[in-house]
Amino acid sequence: MKKINVLRFAAAVIILIACSPALAQVKVTFTMSSSFYGGNAKLPPGTYTLRQMQDEPNLFTLENSTATHFRNA
């Protein structure tokens, strides 16, 4: 059940980002209480920031608050 909630949350974030192309940079911060997959990497629970890259609007980075886990998507 947790995976379904994580997938729903991820879909909502993607839809939010896709619907706001007029913004120069998108930044979303969220906290996960369980591990989840970012790309093909399993990430531990924690606070994460999803950012849209300024130079490449179709590229996003996902980074935890301690900067120990980092993914490009």
Indicate the pTM of the whole model: 0.57
Cβ–Cβ under 8 Å, residues 71 and 59 = no
pLDDT in tens, 26-63: 788 888 888 888 777 888 888 888 888 777 777 888 88
Overall residue count recorded for the chain in this entry: 73
Give CA–CA dist 36/39, Å, rounded: 10
Question: Domain locations in the chain?
Answer: 2-72
pLDDT at 67 over 60: yes
